């Protein structure tokens, strides 16, 4: 059974860093695009970044460019999101999701993802 489990969310002060993990099972990373999303209270879910089945990274959200870095470990079947220089505006529940469509482009669009994790909460506050 395909599963995605996020972890690493926490309370952090502005300017701090966190690394989120998305542990996957039931499939290999080479068979799916993986995207990170976030949803702040009262706001719509937005795509943060997508990493393709071949490891190509695309679609960083403009507000996180230069601060967030996505990476993946094919041996551990885990995708990471390193978040630096965090601000209160980064406060949200962060989700990872998988797109297994065979000919799709890597896109951090909520409507195209097949499987979702349950999310991990990141709170940036002093």
Buried b (16+ CB within 10 A) or exposed e, 52-71: bbeeeeebbbeebeebbebe
Q: Cα angle at 17 between 99 and 107, to 5 degrees? A: 20
In three-state secondary structure terms, 91 is: coil
Report pLDDT digits (tens) over 39-58.
999 999 999 999 999 889 88
pLDDT of residue 103: 87
Q: Of 116, 101, 115, 118, nearest to 31 (Cα)? A: 101
Report pLDDT digits (tens) over 11-47.
999 999 999 999 999 988 889 999 999 999 999 999 9
Q: Cα angle at 95 between 42 and 37, to 5 degrees? A: 70
Residue spans of alpha helices (H) in 1-126: none
Chain mean pLDDT for the chain? 95
């Amino acid at each position: 059974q395909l599963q995605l489990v996020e972890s690493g969310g926490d309370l952090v002060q502005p300017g701090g860093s966190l690394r989120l993990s998305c542990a996957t099972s039931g499939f290999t990373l080479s068979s799916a695009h993986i995207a990170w999303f976030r949803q702040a209270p009262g706001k719509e879910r937005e795509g943060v970044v997508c990493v393709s089945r071949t490891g190509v990274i695309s679609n960083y959200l403009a507000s996180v460019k230069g601060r967030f870095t996505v990476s993946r470990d094919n041996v551990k079947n885990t995708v990471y999101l390193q978040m630096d220089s965090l601000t209160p505006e980064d406060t949200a529940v962060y989700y990872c999701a998988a797109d297994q469509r065979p000919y799709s482009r890597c896109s951090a669009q909520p409507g195209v993802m097949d499987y979702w994790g349950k999310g991990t909460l990141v709170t940036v506050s002093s």
